[in-house]
Amino acid sequence: MSAPVKKNDRLSVYIEDLTHDGNGVAKVDGYPLFIQGALPNETAEIHVMKTLKNYGFAKVVDIIKPSSDRVVAPCDYFKQCGGCQLQHLSYEGQLKWKENMVRNVMQRIGKINAPVLPVKGMEEPWHYRNKAQIPFSVNEEGQAIAGFYKTKTHSIVDMDRCLIQTGEADAILAGLKKELTAIGIRPYNEHTHEGMLRHVVIRKARATGEVMVVLVTKKKKFPQKEAAVAVIQRLVPNVTSIMQNVNNEKTNVIFGDDTINLWGKDIIIDTIGDVRFEISARSFYQVNPEQTEVLYKQALEYADLQGDERVIDAYCGIGTISLFLAQRAKAVMGVEIVPQAIEDAKRNAVLNSFSNTYFEAGPAEEVIPRWYKEGKEADVLVVDPPRKGCDEALLKTILEQQPKRVVYVSCNPATLARDLRILEDGGYQTQEIQPVDMFPHSTHCEAVAWLTLVE
């Protein structure tokens, strides 16, 4: 059966929803069209760009009836850059859409009927990212460019500022590329594998104001390092750490294995709530510290700790959630597959004088069953898995060991819904789901689910 529309057709459609990457969705005789720039509840004239068997793509020619939530995107680069997808939707509209998205995903994928609460958003949803990873390259004229990638490409949008990054990141964006030629540093060209500077990573601690700048270079030998340090100190006066990371691979991965201190400290320190964290050049640390505190406080509330519970934190990372839980638990045991993260977690426990924590490196689905066999049972189990969700073996372990409460922190509502269905089929009841907006102006939404064992 052929599609009811063909390439280059122009037609008027009603926009029903948004996709996970921010495109509007309209249906023509049941055939979905994904439309860049369109918002739900709009009527638009569109131009069909491409048709496949089961769906097609189109672009907006004219908005006939705009959404009441449509706004003018304040960023000059919004239509080119792939960093944000929803700046043309008011922030209130974004929160409303994310709440409905989480609720619909729960019901459609998991048949989960637990209450989905209104999204916890930000009072000021701009300049919230504490980490910027800025690729540097050259244009066709050989001039230095820096910015962020166009959607689904490795083409850099050359820019001088970003409305969701810090002022320090803007200073690097606008200033460093102008200084590179003067100090003799060539930006990296990923097509020819020539040049020196690949990325600049800027990390800022919200609580202390400390700033780390990491220069990711193709080679370890860096004759211009003193000049580079001087330029960064001038552009970012509050910098406390300047590092070099070496990556000589033909890869899209940002960091290599070798990190060198060029000036200042090796780490910066930030605080979430009452817990302090050391952040190194390659540490995983949530990029929105204000909302991270909201997220972790929600997890702590759902854990409902009275002081005598043993807690297991699967996928513990550098111990961020573990140390939040340790403030109220008798004991917290964290497991993470990345050994360096476990070393960071141990160091952060010492930094905060916690003596009731234990961290171990390894796959959660292997380590946790062994802990139970050793008598290290948990009253509460917290999981914060990657986007792919929990490993099937870990879900099986939860169902076998039956902790009284499970708190599931998720960065992907679809895999959350899938995993909740498995846990509910195994004897748990989802009591409540609280979405948290960690990434304003993007389509991403985190959520915390609270489950209890059915007696």
pLDDT tens sequence across 242-269: 999 999 999 889 999 999 999 999 999 9
Give the pLDDT of residue 141: 86
267: left (phi over 0), alpha (psi -120 to 50) or beta: beta
Residue 47 has pLDDT above 70, yes or no: yes
Report the distance separating Cα 416 and Cα 133, nearest Å: 28
pLDDT category at 46 given cuts 50, 70, 90 is very high
The CATH architecture annotation of domain 10-65 reads Beta Barrel (2.40)
State in words which class domain 131-268 has. Answer: mainly beta
Report the distance separating Cα 364 and Cα 315, nearest Å: 7
Distances 388 to 73, 98, 100, 291, 318 between C-alpha atoms, Å: 31, 19, 21, 22, 19
39 Cα distance to chain centroid:
23
Note whether 274 and 296 are within 8 A (CB). Answer: no
Give the pLDDT of residue 2: 80
**Which entry of 75, 316, 411, 445 is annotated as an active-site residue?**
411
The reply to whether domains 10-65 and 96-123+288-453 share a CATH topology is no
pLDDT, one tens digit per residue, over 400-447 is 999 999 999 999 999 999 999 999 999 999 999 999 999 999 999 999
Tokens linked to 453: 């064992």
Instruction: Give pTM, 2 decimals.
Output: 0.93
301: left (phi over 0), alpha (psi -120 to 50) or beta: alpha
Give the pLDDT of residue 1: 61
Q: What are phi and psi of 185, to 5 degrees?
A: -105, 125
Q: Which residue has the tokens 């080679």?
A: 219
Note whether 385 and 315 are within 8 A (CB). Answer: yes
Report the distance separating Cα 88 and Cα 68, nearest Å: 11
Residue 345 has pLDDT above 90, yes or no: yes
Note whether 394 and 431 are within 8 A (CB). Answer: no
Report the distance separating Cα 371 and Cα 21, nearest Å: 40
Give the pLDDT of residue 152: 78
Note whether 359 and 335 are within 8 A (CB). Answer: yes
Q: What is the CATH number of domain 96-123+288-453?
A: 3.40.50.150
411 is catalytic: yes
Q: Where are the domains of the chain?
A: 10-65, 96-123+288-453, 131-268
Question: What is the torsional sign of CA 86, 92, 97, 103?
Answer: positive
Q: What are phi and psi of 13, to 5 degrees?
A: -135, 160
